[in-house]
Amino acid sequence: MDITGIGEAATAAQKVLGMFFPDKTEEERSKIAGVIGILQSQAEINKAEAQSTDTLQHFRGGAGWMCVFGMAYNFIVQPILRDVSTLLHHPIVLQQLDIGPLVTMLTTMLGLGALHVYQQVNGK
């Protein structure tokens, strides 16, 4: 057997062994490449979203408006409806919203917005 035959056999054996015992570094590289691809895609989405001038079109804006509507219902609309219906002698029972998730989302959005403004002001 000549030297080229040994090299071909070694390459074939390496491919077969690679099927059962994949190279960890190659596997990690492919995972990292996948994550980088997802991050780049999200960055492109964020750029396109930031270029829009319609505040209701933004996902974050929509989520913010949902927080505003939920808070308005819980603290303004629901008590007024309840009191007016009681004054009209037709009391109704309206459930209050669980505002825990709304508060969490709203404070997170406000905190990220403040951080973004801070970075822009300080040129970072």
How confident is the model over 1-14, as pLDDT tens digits?
A: 445 556 676 677 77
Minimal CA–CA distance to 60: which of 69, 75, 50, 70?
50
d(CA 39, CA 34): 9
**E strands within 68-110?**
none
The amino acid at residue 70 is: G
What was the pLDDT predicted at 88?
Answer: 94
Average model confidence (pLDDT) across the chain: 77
Angle at CA of residue 63, ends 62 and 65, nearest 5°: 65
Q: What is the pLDDT of residue 6?
A: 63
What predicted TM-score, i.e. pTM, was given to this entire model? Answer: 0.45
Confidence check: pLDDT of 100 > 60: yes
* 80 — pLDDT class (breaks 50, 70, 90): very high
